[in-house]
Amino acid sequence: MNPFTDIASTLDRSNSDVVLIVDDVPDNLSVLHDALDESGFTVLVATSGEAALQRGLQALPDVVLLDAMMPGMDGFEVARRLKAMPQTAHIPIIFMTGLTETEHLVAALESGAVDYVTKPIKPKEVLARMAVHLAGARERRQARNALDAFGYATITVRASDGALLWQTPLARELLERYCGTQAPQTPPEVIAWLQMCLGKLDLPGEPPRLTLEQGARRLIFRLHQQIGDVDALGDWLIVMREVSDTAVIEALSLSFKLTPKEAEVLYWVVKGKTNKDIGDILGSSPMTVKKHLERIFIKLGVETRTAAAGIAMGRLRILQPQFEI
Q: Any idea where the domains of the chain sit in the sequence?
A: 3-143, 151-244, 246-319
What integer pLDDT is reported at residue 1 of this predicted model? 37
Q: What is the DSSP string of 177-220?
A: HHH---TTPPPHHHHHHHHHHHTTTTSSSPPPPEEEEETTEEEE
**Domain 246-319 belongs to what topology?**
Arc Repressor Mutant, subunit A (1.10.10)
What integer pLDDT is reported at residue 228 of this predicted model? 60
- Whether the domain at 3-143 and the domain at 151-244 fall into the same CATH topology: no
Residue 239 dihedral angles phi and psi, to the nearest 5°: -105, 135
In CATH, what is the architecture of 3-143? 3-Layer(aba) Sandwich (3.40)
Residues 247-292: pLDDT tens digits? 889 889 998 999 999 999 999 999 899 999 999 988 899 999 999 9
Mean pLDDT of the chain: 85
Q: Which of 205, 166, 31, 9 is nearest to 87 (CA)?
A: 166
CATH superfamily of 151-244: PAS domain (3.30.450.20)
CA 205 centroid distance within chain:
23
What integer pLDDT is reported at residue 279 of this predicted model? 92
Residue 126 dihedral angles phi and psi, to the nearest 5°: -60, -45
Single-letter amino acid code for the residue at 147: L
Query: CA–CA separation, 296 vs 302, rounded Å?
Result: 8
Give me the count of residues in the chain.
325
What integer pLDDT is reported at residue 68 of this predicted model? 87
Query: What DSSP state is assigned to residue 64?
Result: E
What integer pLDDT is reported at residue 119 of this predicted model? 84
Percent of the chain with pLDDT over 70: 87
What integer pLDDT is reported at residue 5 of this predicted model? 43
What integer pLDDT is reported at residue 204 of this predicted model? 84
What integer pLDDT is reported at residue 243 of this predicted model? 82
Show the beta-strand stretches assigned E in the chain: 18-22, 42-46, 63-67, 93-97, 115-118, 152-158, 164-167, 210-214, 217-227, 235-244
Give every residue of the chain whose pLDDT is below 70, as ranges.
Answer: 1-15, 100-102, 140-150, 228-232, 321-322, 324-325
